[in-house]
Amino acid sequence: MNQPNNGLSRRSLLKAAGIGGLSLASAGMLAGCSVGLNKSSGSSSTKGKGKHGVTGERTGKELVIYMNAGHIYKAYTDLFSRFEKEHNIKVTVNPQQWPDLQTKLTAGFLSGDVPDLCEENGSWWSVRWGTAGNVLALDDYIAKDGKAMGFPSDFVKAGVEVRQANGSTYAIPLHLTCNGLIFYNKGLLDAANVDAPKTWDEFTEACKALTGNGVYGAALNQDSSYSLPWVLQAGADYFDASSKKFLTPEAAAAKSFALQQNMVYKYKSSPAPVASVSYSGPQKMFSAKQSAMILTGPWDISPIQTGSADIELGIAAPLTGKTQSATLAGSGLMIPAKSQNADLAWELIKEMTKLKTELAVTTETGMTMPRKSWAENSAVKSDPLLNVVAKSLPLAVATDKPLSQNNNIASITTAYTTMYQQIVSQQTAVDTAMAKFQSTVKSYV
Amino acid sequence: MTLAARPARRRSQRGLDDRLFPGATAVSYVVAILLALACVIPLLYMISLAFQSDAEVQGGTAVLLPSTWQWGNIARVFDAAPFGRFLLNSLIVAGLITISHLVFDPMVGYVFAKFDFPLKGAIFTAILATMMISFFVRMLPLYVMFSNAGWLNSYQGLVVPFLMDAFGIFLMRQYMISVPNELGEAARVDGASEWRIYWNIVLPQTKPALAVLGLFSFVFQMNEFIWPLIATSTEQMRVITIALPLFNKESFTQWNLTAMASLLLFVPICALFLFTQKYVVRGIAMSGIK
Amino acid sequence: MSLVDTVPVVDEGTPPSPTRRQGRRVTPLRRKQIITAYLFLIPAVVFFVAMFFYPLFNELLTSFTSGLTDPVPVGFDNYLRALSDPVVIHSFLVTLEYAAGSLVGSIIIGLLLALMLNQGLRGRVVLRTMILVPYMTSIAIVGLLWRNILDPSVGILNTALHAVGLPGQEWLNTAPLQTLIGITVWQESGYVMMLFLAGLQAIPEEVYEASKIDGAGVWTRFRRITVPLLAPTTFFVLLVGVISSMQQFGLPYIVTNGGPGDATSLFVFQVYQETFTNQDIGYASAMAFLLLIFILILSFIQMRIGRRKDLV
């Protein structure tokens, strides 16, 4: 009766969309059941296969690299331009943040449209994708060149092991770092007459003393991997392969989470982390002199020094709770199985992981490196900050290692993140959050 | 369907003064103005942010207005990355899609408005049902298809998944129903071809609806960000929406430059909207669909 | 094809077309019309099959398989798992809450604005334009902008609170979902307002005048006339709103990354997580189809109710 035009248009639209869509979907469901389910994975590559990787239109012409956007250092770009001239090939670097990189790789593995060389983030990527056949096993290359390049003898063992499974190596370490170092603002600590903390107790006391006047004693990270050093320091394991249990002993792990929660809500010496895709929030607060200390790794050295040259940065070894501990971090280089320039990618890996390149990157950015000879180099030893980091690297534990071949490893990480953020950002009781985590991951192992 | 000719009803005699309580109109003014301000103030703040200095955005507290307007920020955005190229890509992609919508959507809408044929209901229904399909459902299969076709990281890869849309078809159908049949019939009697009837007689009658369709298509395609993120891999093909997080550096987020880059996308769309807002308003009223 | 009968595409209200008058008998003229119609439709059919239904079908097949590489058929396992997975159920409930909150919020504010602007306020074109601007703004910009404004340490909102002596608020930690709802209401209210304005202008002035003569007060008129006569518009806003808000992805993706914890893991974001972060593509596809089915059923139920109440 009223507004006939609108009413009519709506009626036909709604009816059509509602009824039609439903019947359409059900028709689709039936069709889906009756048709065979063996969908081929990715593209059936008609391109001729080389010895490694595939031959495609980019072969010999363009080498495409995916790298973390924060790692496009001048030392690497200089190397790329040299490499372009030497091998008469164009090198294209595609910088991405880790989550976007993972998204693009996932889509790429489905379709076969992958880069020729890719940086990986030191987690499960290389082993999980390697054992699934998406990433090349580098064993043949290593058999040929390993001795000359000092692999694996010159590389820190833990960094190599996280990239190996079933006797194959799927990535070569590029950066080797550890998480759990104490970065502190010397000026603020001196003003409060506080020494760099060594134990949990000293740390909490220092936090309380440093908090005030718009400055927090420390800043916790929203990224849950930053909480794992605490777990280890409390004497707990992230995952115990023999008992197939997470966060054991639970009481110790709970203690570490309670400490972090108390820092935020009881002592108010850290702001509650805000969930996001970035792990750089605490570092930004540190650079803005809003936080006197942060727990992090060498990747934050360069941002702090370039962003706030007036801060006198100090680095202290990881804290001691029940034990002194840190987590292993860093990145590596892997070659996708459908790389169109696999052999050249391997040549580039060799160049990027040379001691000379490593030292150039360190000089430029303060990043720490996986070679033993790097740690022994006088330039590293004489640098007070790097020296602390190099000495702490042997403490580092690869918490993901026992899970690297578990198909649900990513879901486990997601569940852990949920638990951690509930504890530090939402003030959920530690027991409640942990119990929920345990019940979620129970089915994953 | 008198979209273009809807009489502007005067409601001035409907002020609330004599109905609710004295001063109700004044209260209405205050509330409406406050809400309108709430809508634009965040966006105005973005403009302010775009012209602030590094010190102002990185200081401990936010600043409402820049102490001096940093016009140099515009150049800094273009120096940091080829934003001119990104903007051009966005314009090319959104432009091509808009043209395609303007060509195809009216054709399809015309058929559903003026013809009767077997399976009409089923086909119309199926097309409208696509509005309920989240882009995610078809994203990965599309990616694989386009990869096999070698269309990733190309203009055709960015354009083809959006060449037509159910919204535009529905909009045009609604409008064309109101175009009198007599016009076409007279031409038909004179022996005009069906294409000529459509192209020379019916289509020119729908200019207001085409304006709405063109504007909506353009704006929503300029704003698209998921598919370009997945489907492009080089800087040359990047569009502006996915370049916005570029200033989220490891050391700090350059909020001023992020905001300035956002303005590059926001200002053209906003200007276009201001110039054509009469049509937008009618478009929403007419279709009631995004 | 029973659909043709149940879905009257050409409404009774439109003047009968010449083809109708001639009935279903296939005359040469009618045959020509049919051929013309199909010729005009070819591009659309090709496009929608290739770009919508073929990918949809592929995704459906994927949902009955496992994994990223070498998928194995797993029957309905993915569907059964999703229906009992607490993570999925939680994310579904969060999405319902988000949809309900943002719909109620934007309907209340949109209706309020429409009622006020419909009084012929001076400068209403300017006001209307201002209110509509957020709707035209890219979600990528909206997300980043609000992320900045709400930042607990450097955001303008907390700076303003501090300036007037109030404590800062950690909106994204203490009320993350409500914050996302607020941003949505901010962005969508203008659109809802436009729909209501169109609805209000379609109510004949005479209806109000008549009831005024009967001595009905403002509140009575609002309840007896405005609300019932706006019901079709409200119904339409609800239906379209449910479809779009159940599919929200950009806000959790840009603003909160689904957190803190799982507080803002809206369903489509969870599908994204399962696909790209957890690498469980078959599972993600099943989830996507469950959502599609849910939206279809919900729309169907809404339609039934709407028809019974004579709203459509």
Looking up residue C250, the CATH number of its domain turns out to be 1.10.3720.10
Query: Does the CB of A191 have a partner CB in chain C at under 8 Å?
Result: no
Domain membership flag for residue C173: yes
- C113 and C226 together in one domain: yes
Average pLDDT in the B133-159 region? 87
- C303 and C224 together in one domain: yes
| C113 pLDDT tier (thresholds 50, 70, 90) | very high
Question: How many helices and strands in chain C, by DSSP H and E?
Answer: 17, 0
Mutate to test the interface with B, among C11, C141, C185 (most CBs of B within 10 A): C141
| C24 pLDDT tier (thresholds 50, 70, 90) | low
Walk along chain A (445 residues) and give the pLDDT tens digit of each residue.
Answer: 333 333 334 444 444 444 344 333 443 333 333 333 333 333 333 333 446 888 888 899 999 999 988 888 999 999 999 999 999 999 988 888 787 888 888 888 887 889 999 999 988 899 989 988 899 999 999 999 999 999 999 999 889 999 999 899 999 999 999 999 999 999 999 999 999 999 999 999 999 999 988 899 999 999 999 999 999 999 999 999 889 999 999 999 999 999 999 999 999 999 999 887 777 788 888 988 889 999 999 888 888 887 788 899 999 999 999 999 999 989 999 999 999 999 999 999 999 999 999 999 999 988 999 999 998 898 888 888 888 998 888 889 889 888 877 878 888 988 999 999 999 999 999 999 999 999 999 888 8
Write the DSSP string, A208-250: HHH-BTTBEEE---SSGGGGHHHHHHTT-EEEETTTTEEEESH
Interface chains of chain A (3 or more CB pairs under 8 Å): B, C
Interface chains of chain B (3 or more CB pairs under 8 Å): A, C
- C257 and C113 together in one domain: yes
Sign of CA dihedral A124, A129, A132, A137: negative
Note the pLDDT of residue B97. 96
Give, as one character, the DSSP assignment of residue B199.
Answer: I
Note the pLDDT of residue A116. 95
Is cis: bond before C18, omega within 30 of 0? no
Domain membership flag for residue C80: no
Note the pLDDT of residue A48. 37
Percent of chain B with pLDDT over 90: 27
**Alpha carbon distance A233, A320 (integer Å):** 6
Q: Which positions 256-275 of A are in contact with C (Cβ < 8 Å)?
A: 271-275
Average pLDDT in the C123-145 region? 89
ipTM > 0.90 for the complex? no
Are the C-beta atoms of B108 and B115 separated by less than 8 Å? no
- C288 and C218 together in one domain: yes
Angle subtended by helix axes B255-287 and B83-114, to nearest 10:
10
Task: Count CB neighbours of A33 within 10 A.
Answer: 12
Has residue B85 got a pLDDT over 60?
Answer: yes
- C49 and C89 together in one domain: no
pTM for the predicted model, two decimal places: 0.84
Among chain A residues, CA nearest to C299: A18
**Burial per residue of B28-65, b for 16 or more beta-carbon CB atoms within 10 angstroms, e otherwise:** bbeebbebbeebeebbebbbbbbbbbbebbbeeebbee
**Alpha carbon distance A379, A107 (integer Å):** 42
Are the C-beta atoms of C286 and C78 separated by less than 8 Å? yes
- C128 and C267 together in one domain: yes
Lowest mean pLDDT, pick from B7-16, B36-45, C254-263? B7-16
Tell me, rounded to whole angstroms, the distance of Cα A137 from its chain centroid.
21
Domains and CATH numbers, chain A: 62-178+329-397 (3.40.190.10), 179-328+404-444 (3.40.190.10)
- C239 and C165 together in one domain: yes
**Alpha carbon distance B98, B213 (integer Å):** 8
- A324 token code pair: 């002194």
Note the pLDDT of residue B284. 66
Domain membership flag for residue C220: yes
- B223 token code pair: 């704003």
Among chain C residues, CA nearest to B32: C113
Cβ distance B60 to A307 less than 8 Å, yes or no, reads no
Has residue C7 got a pLDDT over 60?
Answer: no
Cβ distance B128 to A113 less than 8 Å, yes or no, reads no
Question: A48 or B276, which is more confident?
Answer: B276
Domain membership flag for residue C74: no
Has residue B129 got a pLDDT over 90?
Answer: no
Note the pLDDT of residue C67. 67
B52: chain C residues, CB-CB within 8 Å: none
- C227 and C152 together in one domain: yes
* A366-380, B123-137, C2-16 — most confident range: A366-380
Residues B36-69: pLDDT tens digits? 999 999 999 999 999 998 888 776 678 889 988 9
* A143-157, B250-264, C163-177 — most confident range: A143-157
Note the pLDDT of residue C18. 47
Residues C230-250: pLDDT tens digits? 888 888 788 888 888 998 988
Note the pLDDT of residue A46. 34
Note the pLDDT of residue C203. 80
| B289 pLDDT tier (thresholds 50, 70, 90) | very low
A21: chain B residues, CB-CB within 8 Å: 125, 128-129, 132
Query: Does the CB of A432 have a partner CB in chain C at under 8 Å?
Result: no
| C162 pLDDT tier (thresholds 50, 70, 90) | confident
Note the pLDDT of residue B59. 66
Are the C-beta atoms of C276 and C56 separated by less than 8 Å? no
Cβ distance C130 to B37 less than 8 Å, yes or no, reads yes
Domain membership flag for residue C139: yes
- C189 and C106 together in one domain: yes
Domain membership flag for residue C286: yes
Strand A326-334 to A172-179 pairing: antiparallel
- C234 and C298 together in one domain: yes
Cβ distance C37 to B132 less than 8 Å, yes or no, reads no
Residues C185-210: pLDDT tens digits? 999 998 889 888 888 887 887 887 88
C202: chain A residues, CB-CB within 8 Å: 2-3, 6
Phi, psi of A91 (to 5 degrees): -105, 120
**How far off is chain B from C128, nearest CA to CA, in Å?**
8
Note the pLDDT of residue A135. 95
Note the pLDDT of residue C299. 82
What spatial distance separates the first Cα and last Cα of chain B, rounded to whole Å? Answer: 19
Q: What's the total number of domains in chain C? A: 2
Question: What letter represents residue C300's amino acid?
Answer: F
Torsion of CA A181, A437, A271, A314, to 10 degrees: 0
Among chain A residues, CA nearest to B54: A307
Note the pLDDT of residue A24. 39
C19: chain B residues, CB-CB within 8 Å: 115-116
- C217 and C261 together in one domain: yes
Cβ distance B147 to A113 less than 8 Å, yes or no, reads yes
- A236 token code pair: 């707990």
Domains and CATH numbers, chain B: 80-287 (1.10.3720.10)
Domain membership flag for residue C182: yes
Note the pLDDT of residue B252. 61
- C21 and C109 together in one domain: no
Q: Could you list the residue range(s) of the whole structural domain that residue C103 is in?
A: 85-308
Cβ distance A20 to C3 less than 8 Å, yes or no, reads yes
Task: Count CB neighbours of A368 within 10 A.
Answer: 27
Note the pLDDT of residue B286. 62
| C51 pLDDT tier (thresholds 50, 70, 90) | very high
Note the pLDDT of residue A394. 86
Cβ distance A289 to B60 less than 8 Å, yes or no, reads yes
Residues B190-244: pLDDT tens digits? 888 888 889 988 898 888 788 878 888 888 888 888 888 888 877 788 898 888 8
Domain membership flag for residue C222: yes
Q: Quote the mean pLDDT of chain C.
A: 84
Domain boundary among C62, C96, C118: C62
Give, as one character, the DSSP assignment of residue A322.
Answer: S
Query: Does the CB of B59 have a partner CB in chain A at under 8 Å?
Result: yes
**Burial per residue of C179-192, b for 16 or more beta-carbon CB atoms within 10 angstroms, e otherwise:** bbbbbbbbbbbbbb
Q: Which of C142, B23, C198 is nearest to B31 (CA)?
A: B23
Lowest mean pLDDT, pick from A358-372, C148-162, C255-269? C148-162
